[in-house]
Amino acid sequence: MKLAIMQPYFFPYLGYFQLIHSCDSFVFYDDVQYIKGGWVNRNRIQYRGEVRYINAMIEGASANKRINELQVVENIRWKDKLLKNIESCYYRAPQFDQVFPLISEIVNTPFRSLSEFNINGLKKLCKHLSIDKEFIVSSAAWDNDHLKGLDRVLDICKRLNCDFYINASNGRILYKKEDFEREHIRLAFIKMKDLTYNQSNTQFSDNLSILDAMMYNDVTSMGHLLRSYTLEQ
C-alpha cells in the first residue's frame, strides 16, 4: 500500500495534488506544529504575471500551537475579500465559470477549525479533480503525537500496513531509504515534470495555488497535469 503524509495546506500547489494522486492512502498531518510563513493559511495566485498572496485569516497564530489548535476568524469580511481577489484575477480565465462556484462553496463553509477548513477544501478539490483516495486525519486516528519526526512517520506507516512511503522531493533532506528499509518499507520521492500551461501572461509563473491551474485547464487537461510526475528512489 502506498502512503503519503502532509500537513493540510490552504489551496496548495499542483504538486500537493500529485502527491495525493500517487498514493492509495493520504494522511492529513494536522497535529504538528504550525509554521508561520508556511502554506497552512496562505498561498499564491497571479494576475497578468503579478504574483499575489491569498490568506485564510486565523486567530492567535503562534508557532507554539498545532495546526488543529488554530481557528479561522469568524468574521466573513475576510472571506468576501478573498473571493473578490480571486475573482478579479481570474474572471476572464476559460474555466472561471466552472471553478469559481466551487471555490466560493469551500471558502464559505463555516468551519472554525483551520484544520477542518483546509481538509474540507482539499477533499472537495480532489472530488472535482476525480482523485479518489482514502483520507485519514492524524489527530483523529492515533494517539502517537508524543513521537517526533521520522519515528512518528514510521509509526503511522506500520499502523496502516504501508509498504511504500512517498514524500515530496524536498523530503530528501529528512528521510533516508535505509531507515525505511529496516521496517520493510520502500521510500520514494515524487518529482514533477514540466508543468507549464497557458496563463494570461507571456512569462509562466510556477508553483502557484492549484486554483491557477484549474482556472486555465479543463478537467481532461488537469488529469494530464496530475499524472505528470515520476517516483524516484
Residues 198 and 92: beta-carbon distance below 8 Å? no
Q: How far does Cα 176 stand from its chain's mean position?
A: 23
In the prediction, which pLDDT does 196 show? 87
Helices (H), 113-230: 114-128, 138-141, 149-159, 177-181, 210-216, 219-226
Handedness of CA 37, 39, 40, 42 (dihedral sign): positive
In the prediction, which pLDDT does 202 show? 66
159 contact partners, CB below 8 Å, separation of at least 6: 141, 142, 144
β-partners of residue 136 are 27
Tens digits of pLDDT across the chain (233 residues): 999 999 999 999 999 999 999 999 999 999 999 998 899 999 999 988 889 999 999 998 888 899 999 999 988 899 999 999 999 999 999 999 999 999 999 999 999 999 999 999 999 999 999 999 999 999 998 888 888 999 999 999 999 999 999 999 988 999 999 999 999 999 999 999 988 888 877 678 889 999 999 999 999 999 999 999 999 98
Q: How far does Cα 173 stand from its chain's mean position?
A: 20
In the prediction, which pLDDT does 35 show? 92
pTM over 0.85: yes
Percentages of the chain per state (helix, strand, coil), in multiples of 5: 40, 20, 40
Helices (H), the chain: 14-22, 77-90, 96-108, 114-128, 138-141, 149-159, 177-181, 210-216, 219-226
> b/e map of 175-191 (b: 16 or more CB within 10 Å)?
beeeebeeeebebbbbe
Residues 17 and 210: beta-carbon distance below 8 Å? yes
* Class of residue 127 by CB neighbours under 10 A (exposed 0-12, middle 13-18, buried 19+): exposed
In the prediction, which pLDDT does 40 show? 97
Indicate the SS3 state at residue 168.
strand
